[in-house]
Amino acid sequence: MKELAIGDAKNAILIIQQSQTDPQKALAELVENSIDAGGRRIRIIRRKRGGSVEIVIEDDGEGVKPGPDGHPDFDRIAKGICDSFKRQLDATQRQNVQGEYAIGMLGFAAIGRELEIVSRTAASRTRGMRLTAGSVAYETFTPKKALTAQGTRVVVREVHKEIQNRLTAEKLSRYLGTELRDRIRVTKAQVQIEDKLARGKLVEVRPREFAGEKLAGIGPIKTGGGTVRFELYVMADRRDGRVGVARRGTRLLDDVCQLEELNHAPWDTGQLQGLIHFDRLTTAPASRRGIIPDANLEEFLKAVRFIEDSVSARLKELEKTKEEELGRKLVRQIQEAFASVLDDLTEEYSWFDGGRGGPLPGSTRGKPARPRPVRLSRGPLASVEIVPKLAQLSPGEKKRFTARPLDPTGALIPIEVSFEWSTQSALASLEADGSAAGVQAGKEEGEGQLSVIARRGGDTAQAQARFLILQVKKQARGRKLPFLEPVHRPGENWRSRWVASRNLIEYNTGHPNYVQAKTRARKGVLRYLSLLVAKELVLHNFSGVQQALLLDRMVEIISALQQKL
């Protein structure tokens, strides 16, 4: 069997040197070399020398491994490119080292024209090496000024002008805090950046903390080759979250969706941020980026697919809870806005609790029908209902509820029925008196439930009602805004709808318009929901009018709302 061989070793080294095109990533690899060497105090300096900008990286690590003469052996590094030096380490030492082939060192060409490395161990003298971009030549030397302690100093000279603005203290701090997040956290290395081009600004690189609420209870998943760990956070408002992939603290992928097998929900929704860790992944040696497809990657993919359904279910639960909380908070603001708006408008408007506005010119609606007479019955008891089914109270307000026992035809049973009222809510107290019950709201806002059991002879029936306690400054003509309830129907085209049987307005959180409103955070949702309520209010009051008049009413409401929100 014949073997492939490098036809031109010099050209191969130059190709490797040019393989790194990202200057921030190239600098991160030089910093990671310091961490590999055991450096715990790492200092990055951006300064100007001889009319050009240079970057300096200093560490207190173990220094370059000594050669036969007991001093840093730079010849071994220069002549051992692509040769694994990890083979010289024991298993424990390998676990803490990410670099292996001296390839990361060659990435300096993405930053500047020349690389100088000066190093010493605790027992050696100081030695140095210089490389030039676009050349395979190098030189070793003894610097005039020796290092005072063990460690390494790397200098990249003549930083390319076109990338200098990417290497400021602030930008490097953000990048390194993300790129080397776990390596810094695990090793507790202190990384500082001194930007002498910005008046000596000193910035400490801190491991980036993910935003959002941590998704607990997901994983870890044990595989035949190791453990896959999940560090996932749910984004609060934004929808541009990405979940990266890391190996022993080094980020291999910025987005797990870069793996075609995982380019789907929940990873592509933008709702999640974080990292998936698997120490057995095999990374591309030229840049410590990307993942080589092998058996370890297959184990990783199986573990991630295994938890996808659980993650999706948790996201739906959290989304529903968040929507309900947001709805409760916004109801009060919308209530106050509409209360003020309706006071400024004509008496033709009413809320949704049974009353309607008067007829308008052009309306095909006739006079309101007379209320039907109440039908009475002697039983048997078939059901009971609570009126109202849903009520809104201010803190401290008392609300009266009435139980209506009904026979199979829906007729009211007025006598010989007993009632047992109850509420499990700590937000309000209950005072029962036969078929009536008074709910006294406490000082706290929230939602509660009221229950009643009706008995007549051997028949029993029960019913529930809800009450919402909200602090409302003013109410429109004594009538209250109905509860707004989120319903996620992404496949349906409706935005909102009035549900008379439940005395509430449903709004579709899956509609593209609502999704777009959420990108503008709370204020965007407030305005959008207010417009939906305005639409339902106009339809409720003026159904049957000519289209032009209906649109005029809509404009009337929106114009008034713009001054209130």
Q: What is the CATH number of the domain that holds 443?
A: 2.60.40.1080
Q: Provide the residue type at 445 as one letter.
A: E
**Neighbouring-strand partners of residue 131:** 115, 138
* pLDDT by residue, tens only, the chain of 565 residues: 888 888 888 888 888 888 788 999 999 999 999 999 999 999 999 999 989 999 999 999 999 999 999 999 999 888 888 764 444 444 444 444 444 456 778 889 999 999 999 999 999 999 999 999 999 999 999 999 999 999 999 999 999 999 999 999 999 999 999 889 889 988 999 999 999 999 889 999 999 888 888 898 898 999 988 999 999 999 876 668 899 999 988 889 999 999 999 999 999 988 899 999 999 999 876 556 789 999 999 999 999 999 999 999 988 888 777 777 766 777 777 777 776 676 666 555 555 544 444 333 333 444 444 455 678 888 899 999 998 887 778 888 888 899 999 999 989 999 999 999 999 888 899 999 999 999 999 988 888 899 999 999 889 999 998 888 877 544 444 445 667 788 888 889 999 998 877 778 888 988 999 888 877 767 788 888 888 888 888 887 766 666 777 787 788 778 777 766 6
Domain region containing 223: 213-315
29 and 155 share a domain? yes
Tell me whether residue 365 is in a domain: no
229 and 165 share a domain? no
Tell me whether residue 25 is in a domain: yes
Tell me whether residue 543 is in a domain: no
Q: Do the Cβ atoms of 427 and 449 come closer than 8 Å?
A: no
112 and 21 share a domain? yes
168 and 220 share a domain? no
C-alpha–C-alpha distance, residues 270 and 235, integer Å: 8
For every residue of 391-455, DSSP letters joined together read: EEE-TT-EEEEEEEEE-TTS-B--SS-EEEEEE--TTEEEEEETTEEEEEE-SS-EEEEEEEEEE
Of the three residues 475, 502, 522, the one that is the final residue of a domain is 475
152 and 232 share a domain? no
**H or E element at residue 235:** none
Tell me whether residue 67 is in a domain: yes
pTM strictly above 0.85: no
Q: State the CATH number of the domain containing residue 89.
A: 3.30.565.10
177 and 248 share a domain? no
Tell me whether residue 111 is in a domain: yes
Tell me whether residue 517 is in a domain: no
Tell me whether residue 551 is in a domain: no
Q: How many domains is the chain partitioned into structurally?
A: 3
197 and 217 share a domain? no
Q: Write out the two tokens for 298.
A: 């297959």
Of the three residues 315, 339, 359, the one that is the final residue of a domain is 315
39 and 164 share a domain? yes
Tell me whether residue 94 is in a domain: yes
123 and 230 share a domain? no
Of the three residues 458, 475, 492, the one that is the final residue of a domain is 475
